[in-house]
Structure 1
Amino acid sequence: MRTRCLCQICTCGRHRCPHGTTRIYENSGMPFLTTEYLEKYPMYGNVHPPQSLKPKQELQTCRGKMEGITTFKSDYRPFEIVKQPRHVPEEYKPNHGEIDLGTTYKQDFNSYKVQPVAIVRPLERQQVKKGKLDTVPTYKDDYRAWDMPKSEICKPEETYHPPTVKFGNSTTFQDDFVPQAIKPTPSFKPPLVVKRSTVPFNGDTSHRLDYVPHQLECKPARPKEVYKPTGQSFENLTTHRCDFQGLIGEAAKICRPAYPRVTQKSPFEGSTEFRQSFQPWEIPPPEAKKVPEYVPPAGSMQSDSTSHLDYVPHQVNRVAPIRPVSHRRNNNFPFQGKSTTKEDFPAWESCRQGIIKRQQQIPNPSGKFDGLSTFRSHYVPHELIPTESCKPLNVALKSSIPFDNITMYSVAYTPKKQEICPASYSSPPGYVFENTNSQGHQFFRKITPAVKAF
């Protein structure tokens, strides 16, 4: 018979096989509570942990007066500073004798006598001239010039006449571009003329013309259902009560220590754990450091610097300028204020173009303002017809029949039999435990009922 796992037997979806962290289950059915870590690393005997060398935080009482000596003051010893001797360069003494200009190249590589290289090119063969040489190339022989007539110039002949007045000739721009009068562009905007209608406003709109009122149909009355009580009794059981059954056990004990109540008559001792552990120390007042008096040095101060002693001033002559001497002409006649540009380019009389304004089409009113606007003069008041509301009236429905305390839930609800999940039992009914695999799944075999023979 095929076996089924506990996960397959469960019908509520809340029961699963207990899986372990490692493969500690075998097919024998009995759990072997060992892991790979316990097999590789066996347990040793009672080995005490190493003691800590950290000093204990005990209260150290005052051992006496505190000295003002630090670790730096006790270990540091001043040394005498010796001035470093200055290196004095030696005087240069030239060597006696002549300089040997020989190099390593001249010693290792000796010169050799070199013979001239023989020419490898072949000897020139002198050709015997037999007749006159024709020096006409192939290009001139094959490609000969044609007698083409010269094309005539289509450009009209212009005889140049020098102008009699200064800057009398006109330019290309003046010849091609003739000045024209500026014409205002016509406007395509419709005229702002108010069109007054002579027909009075009749109050008809598109909604009033197109809307067709329809008569509402009467809502059918729904017959009231007669309450029929069920014959089965309500078990008053929920899913939580069926699936989660309470286990019988002792009540949990409170681990909280007993709280002794302090009566109001007992006086307060005035001592705390902080006051007992940390007692005040007597700290002497700090000593004031004596500043030594300033003693001025004996003798006079020399205000000479290195620059004053080493650099002696010299008398230097002033450098004469190298620029050439300017020869200015002293003219006594007054300045005329004329130039070539002013004579050739005289100022033209130019007038600014005026603003182009459009003529006003609507004439301005001449009389006094009456206080009437366009809306007030054209608007015709009409009587408003209120629209009928289709909303039902908020009237409370009173009934003489008493309330029967019947709801839709009490009428339509039919209690069903609560099925208990077979996996919630320690041994599912109708199944026999067979084995547990290495992954922790529990398999059960279904019991087949015995068939009686005839």
Structure 2
Amino acid sequence: MKQPRCLCEICICGRHRCPHKPTKIYGNGQQLRFTTEYGENYPVYSNVSPARSLRPKQEYQGHRGRMEGITTFKSDYLPYDIVQRPFRVPEEYKPKTGEMELRTTYRKDYNTHKIQPVALVRPLEREHTTGGKFDTIPTYQDDYRLWTVQRREPSKVDTYQPPTVKFGNSTTFQDDFAPKELNPRPSFKPPCVAKLSDVPFESATSHRASYIAHPLEPKFVRPKQEYKPSNQPFEGLTTHQKDFKGLPGQLAKSCKPEHTKVGSNAQFTGVTEFQENFQPWLVSLPEVHKTREYVPPSGNMDLNSTTHLDYVKHESSPAVPIRPVSNQRRINAPFQGTTTTKDDFKAWDICQQEITRKQQEIPKPTGKFDDLTTFKSHYIPHQILPAQSFRPVHVVPRSAPFQDETTYRTEYIPKKQSICPATYSSPPGYVYINTDSHGHKFFCQLTPELPESNNNLIPKEVAVVS
């Protein structure tokens, strides 16, 4: 016998794996002892109940006594008597007699002092004057002597003559640029005249000269097949109607229970828990606070205020303007609208300069329009020859029969299909030995190769699939 092999090693296709179980610490087949350091140092105590919780249970404890409609505010609050607030009568204002003293604390406490003029710190001027007359000659007058210089005559000839008429002189532009006649520049453009040729148009091309027409073969027409109706009548039955005719049976019964009225029509005369625990009690109505009725005051309302009674009206004069009085002299004489500019510069008539236009070389046509264009007058009609078609004739080429031999057909060698031995529950040629702690199944091989008779077997059930 050979060395045992796992199911993962027997698989050929690579899709079969052993079901892995949880990893174990010891895989020798001995019984495991779950002992740890914590279990050895801290042994288990027997019959020790857990500590009871002193936390109160969250249960609703309802008040079983009768509810009173008295609150803390109602029991502690004592109402007081409301007394009307006394009204303070304002004192009557009495103005003081006499004049108002315009004394202030500054005027009362401040003592005036006499002020002396400030002495100048600048030194006095010392005047050095003599009684005689100062008569001297400056250096410039003593050294400078006037020369007798003759006046130089100008070399420019003055030909200017004042005009006798206002604005009568001609300008520099009028003197230097005399008007000249406009000479039109000759055009070198060739005349637009159609050139007619006397030679007739030749319609012979290289295609027409070299093309040789070939006769067409008759077109192959496939004969149409005649429709032959069937002699048997149409039954109108489909496969479903023919094979599935239905089976006789009873209708399905409803599993819903019947609706029956539960109860009686008699009146209920018992006492409920609500009526027993919650008895009606008398409730006092809340006191309603009544508002006092408004009583308007008697008598008429005095509309006089302190300002109306104590204010003394003073007569005031309008403010005097501080603007100085103007010393303008008014002249009653009429205004003369004549100035030096109006007298010397009189307006003159201005004539607009005519536009210099070029004379038209082509005279305008006169008379009635003949409705003749250049195309109509010069066009010569020619006889139209239809263009010959040079398209090749559509002929179905007759070729040899199709050879369906390909490289795949000639060189392909079919291979024998093999079934993976791991597909079977127990691989053929192997004997099950054991399963280790990791979940691997080990088999021992009996024969060296898988017999040919088992290759075509169909597996009934896949043992392990990843």
Q: What TM-score comes out, normalization by structure 1 length?
A: 0.29
TM-score norm. by structure 2 comes to: 0.29
Greater Rg over alpha carbons, structure:
2
